[in-house]
Chains A and B, each alone.
Chain A
Amino acid sequence: MIEFEHVSKHYGNTVALDDVSFTVPDGTVSVLIGPSGCGKSTSLRLVNRLLEPNDGYVRVDGTPVREFPPQILRRGIGYVIQSVGLLPHMTVEENIGLVPKLLGCDKRDRSRRAGELLELIGLSPDEYRNKYPIQLSGGEAQRVGVARALAANPPILLMDEPFGAVDPLNRETLQQEFISIQRKLRKTVIFVTHDLDEAVRVADRIVLMRDGNVVQTGAPEEILGAPANDFVREFVGSDRALKRLARFIVGDFMIDAPSVDRGAHLDWNRYRDFEVVYVTDDHRHLLGAVPRDGRAAMSSAEDAMDDALVGAVSFGSTLRDALAEILNTELAETPVVDEHGHLVGRITMAEIYSATPRRIV
């Protein structure tokens, strides 16, 4: 657990943090977000004692950090810095092995660990192990920076815009990777970003800052659903409802999908309440869909179905993806499949509305 307790920090006359308090519970991700210069990086550096507060306490597991020797403290905290800062005279492997080396790990273990981590961040160990930082793209270097922070398996991670230089597509992949790694490892993480979508995706809690103050803290749903003031409302933007959908997993909202076997005759009387019936094979693989007003009285469901109508979403994706999929097809709903392509349910606009807070008129 990391606690900020009435922390203030100034650089000369610049007040970087002004009486900031928030808590990061064990095993959760807190995202610090806010406009440039609001004190996000400063907050991180107070945790590993690269800076000392002028006032207040920063505690790790209840102990004020000032009671730890700084080097010992830092070796136990993974730190991804905003400007990456790979050491130019060391290979990727040596960079990743930095903290383990400081902790006295032998070379074989460091090398093995570097291989595992490269694999984890999606860079082929054989190809990248012996490269030097100037031979990496900005995004690759940033990933190596993340691997370096994870190398000694620290319980606490401080990540300062860890995916800032990665293109949007890879960025999303890395966020997914980060989420699944975090689900396994359950680290206590402070994650800094400018990007609200990223915050919504990875955060358990968001700490929204402005000019050295905390403006609002809460789960992403709360921040998006109930902005505390005009600044927050403006910050989260008019598409906040859309962003909020990204918090919800399809698997938690989907409803049963009507389906018929490909060989069976489709009797619409049995599906009076449905606009669409899905067609599957013997193993419940989704093959296509038959809309109510489509080619009706054919011999088998397979003949009647229109496979162009189905794009599907996986049950692990978000309601935002589901909404996008619904808007993509001609149907007012989308089927949900598991990782093998088996039909497991469907999402309609009703489920999407149900996740959106609305006043009854």
Chain B
Amino acid sequence: MIDRERSVVDKVTLSGALVGGGGLFLPVFIVKEHRLDAGFPVSFAGMSLPLFFLALAFVVAIAIVGVLPGLRRRSRNLPAVLAALCLFALLWAGTGIGGAAELAEYEFERGRVSPSSGFWIVLLAILIIVTHSMKQSTSVWLRGCVPLAFVATLIALFVVGVIDDVAFVREYYTREDRFVRELTAHIGIAAGAVGAAVAVGVPTGILAYRIRSLERPLFAVVNGVQTIPSLALFGLMIAPLALISQRFPILRELGVRGVGNTPALLALFLYALLPIVRNTYTSLAVMDPAVIHAGTGMGMTRRQLMWQVEVPISLPIILAGVRVSMVQTIGNTTVAALIGAGGLGNFVFQGLGQAAPDLIVMGVIPIVILALLADRVFQLISEWAVPGPKRGAV
């Protein structure tokens, strides 16, 4: 069954290649004299023919991997991923360097290069190909390292200065100080909310498991919170917190107010609870009773049973919950900017307000990178912290 599936053409990889190939014919970027200029679209071919053919070659390479099942199986789709990585680097470097050249040609001294439809479509194609390949991969290291390689490539290009003229990098340079502040705030808020959610969620999950009568009401509350749209939840925080802070001046001095970081933290914390409570509960519910029976029968004390049996066995499932919660919270923290909290969301909403897509993208890219990093790092931690045969050895 599986063999037959593998032996036919890999439709996803192939359609990824088709999408990418199509994108190459569209304008990659628009050169603009200033932020609000309509500008001039430039395609790969218009920028440099050799570059265009090189990009096309990578797309063709991916397509070939897609139609050769033997190669795909032996190499675990790695050539497709490598070609996609090259295409990724080419896309960014081409936009950066090619864009700079076009700017010089148009004599737009303070001009900028805005990525356009072709750019986003090729990026989408790369995303399709890479996520598809990663899903098939059994190697933890590969799945951890490939996304990091993409992030590293982008950061390297940025540090070297190749993409300095790209619009959202330009936006970044005009607010470098604030960027660092908002980034720190974003990480701080997300980590604080998840940290608190772990501190509260794990005991809550244990309680829900131990005391059967608590299970239903607890999950009703935690699930219920998730159904409230995040914006509404942030809004709901404002009134009661404003009231509390008026009543208790000490709290106000500590920074508890209706708007700002406190309501954001509280709302994000409530959101972050569900995956942690649920996974903690599940980790206990699925534990083989024979294992507890054996531990007790061997003469373990209650405490030894907990630290030597229950915790190590449930840890991987709980960590998976923390991971989901972390990734979700990094995303949700963006919205927190609306009620006056810090974080990268401020750029996004500022960009929306000013109808400046470059600013929005500037805010979104680091959020995506943060979420990706958090996901991979947690994945690696749980692989490393959890004893057992390494995957692939089974």
Contacts and interface: CB of A to CB of B under 8 A. Distances in A.
A85 B288 contact: yes
A148 B394 CA distance: 23
A88 B298 contact: no
B394 A79 contact: no
B284 to A, nearest CB: 15
Contact of A71 (B288, B300, B312): B300
A134 B294 CA distance: 16
Contact of A81 (B294, B300, B388, B389): B294
A102 B307 CA distance: 13
B116 to A, nearest CB: 52
Residue of B295, B298, B313 with highest tally of chain A CB at under 10 A: B298
B386 A89 contact: yes
Interface string B256-297: 000000000000000000000000000000001011011111
A180 interface: no
Contacts of B291: 85-88
A265 interface: no
B386 A132 contact: no
B229 interface: no
A72 interface: yes
Interface string A96-111: 0011001000000000
B389 A50 contact: no
Contacts of B288: 83, 85, 88
A74 B298 contact: yes
Residue of A73, A83, A87 with highest tally of chain B CB at under 10 A: A87
Contacts of A132: 387-389
Nearest to A90: B387
Contacts of B389: 131-132, 134-135
A84 interface: yes
A58 to B, nearest CB: 15
A75 interface: yes
A48 interface: yes
B174 interface: no
B137 interface: no
B301 interface: yes
B394 to A, nearest CB: 7
B297 A48 contact: yes
Interface residues of A, number: 26
A242 B169 CA distance: 89
Contact of B299 (A74, A81, A87): A74
Contacts of A73: 299
A81 B387 CA distance: 23
B176 to A, nearest CB: 47
Residue of B294, B386, B388 with highest tally of chain A CB at under 10 A: B294
Given A132-B388, A134-B389, A86 B299 contact: no
Contacts of B290: 81, 83-85
Residue of A99, A102, A148 with highest tally of chain B CB at under 10 A: A102
B309 interface: yes
B387 A75 contact: no
B75 interface: no
Interface string A39-59: 000000000101000000000
B304 interface: yes
A195 B294 CA distance: 23
B297 A74 contact: yes
Contacts of B293: 50, 81, 83, 85
A74 to B, nearest CB: 4
Residue of A85, A86, A88, A148 with highest tally of chain B CB at under 10 A: A85
Contacts of A88: 288, 291, 313, 388
A99 B299 CA distance: 7
Residue of B296, B301, B309 with highest tally of chain A CB at under 10 A: B296
A98 B309 CA distance: 11
A86 B295 CA distance: 9
Nearest to A94: B387
B294 A89 contact: no
B313 A102 contact: no
Interface string A18-60: 0000000000000000000000000000001010000000000
A87 B294 contact: yes
Interface string A144-167: 000010000000000000000000
Interface in B312-351: 312-313
Nearest to B389: A132
A143 B39 CA distance: 76
A275 to B, nearest CB: 57
B312 A81 contact: no
A70 B305 CA distance: 14
Contact of B298 (A131, A134, A135, A148): A148
Contacts of A131: 389
A89 B298 contact: no
Nearest to B300: A102
Interface string A204-221: 000000000000000000
A88 B288 CA distance: 10
Given A84-B290, A88-B291, A134-B394, A98 B298 contact: yes
A50 B389 CA distance: 31
Nearest to A101: B308
Nearest to B295: A87
A132 B301 CA distance: 24
B141 to A, nearest CB: 20
Contacts of B312: 89
Interface string B177-199: 00000000000000000000000
A135 B293 CA distance: 21
A298 B132 CA distance: 84
Contacts of B393: 135
Nearest to A91: B387
A75 B298 contact: yes
Contacts of A48: 297
A247 B394 CA distance: 43
Given A87-B291, A88-B313, A50 B388 contact: no
B304 A102 contact: yes
A50 B300 CA distance: 12
A134 B389 CA distance: 8
Given A85-B291, A85-B294, A135-B394, 18 more contacts: A71-B300, A75-B299, A79-B294, A79-B298, A83-B290, A83-B293, A84-B294, A86-B294, A87-B294, A88-B291, A88-B313, A89-B312, A89-B386, A89-B388, A99-B298, A132-B388, A132-B389, A148-B298
For the complex of A and B, the 3 pairs showing the least CB-CB separation, nearest first, are A85-B294, A74-B299, A85-B290
Interface of A: 48, 50, 70-75, 79, 81, 83-90, 98-99, 102, 131-132, 134-135, 148
14 contacts: A48-B297, A70-B299, A74-B296, A81-B297, A84-B294, A85-B288, A85-B295, A87-B295, A88-B313, A89-B312, A102-B299, A132-B387, A132-B388, A135-B394
